[in-house]
A = this chain, B = another copy of it.
């Protein structure tokens, strides 16, 4: 049961990445997974529910890759800014093509035999959100969870006086998520964005001492 669901989610992720969110038919997804439509409807009420499952899989894997270290006892991060560590991981993930709703380059290459440019664009995800309340709700929840996790890191940095203590941690989280989402949109439009330089500037503003010592 669980294997079928996983296979459908994996197939959908691959096809969304190769062809965009809207192009792959449900039949194409089932074909690639090696299951019938009947098997599909055992696991998902509709195509949007499958998209939500894909978002959860990718979003949670991505968030845990950025934030995982901070769930362990914070002893290991005492001397460093938690925000800088998270930003370094985030920029590395962007540069590796693992953001926002992409399988890894390795996973793409393994199936299709060649590298493809990422095909899922922010406007497609926002389109899906405009069309489907369940998709929008899940995406909104992922954004809010990310804001809360960044706010927690900002609070930890403040408790060690690594960033300005006058900043509202929640607003720092909102600001960093807005930078990420806005930068994605600008890249889609063709505005030149250098993720590393942008991250350095944001952190130099927030973490004046830490960022100078530790370039992102």
Chain A positions near chain B (C-beta within 8 angstroms): 121-123, 126-127, 129-130, 136-137, 139-140, 143-144, 147, 164, 166-168, 171-172, 174-175, 177-183, 185-186, 188-191, 193-194, 197-198, 200-202, 204-206, 208, 212
Contacts and interface: CB of A to CB of B under 8 A. Distances in A.
A180, A183, A200 — which one has the most chain B CB atoms within 10 A of its CB?
A: A183
A96 B103 CA distance: 41
A147 B179 CA distance: 14
The binding surface of chain A is classed by DSSP as: helix
A33 B40 CA distance: 51
Contacts of A190: 136-137, 140
A171 B144 CA distance: 25
A185 B185 contact: yes
Contacts of A178: 178-183, 186, 193, 198
A58 B126 CA distance: 23
A178 B167 CA distance: 19
Contacts of A182: 177-183, 185
Contacts of A136: 189-190
A175 B191 contact: no
B175 A201 contact: yes
Nearest to A143: B191
Contacts of A212: 166
B123 A130 contact: yes
A183 B185 CA distance: 11
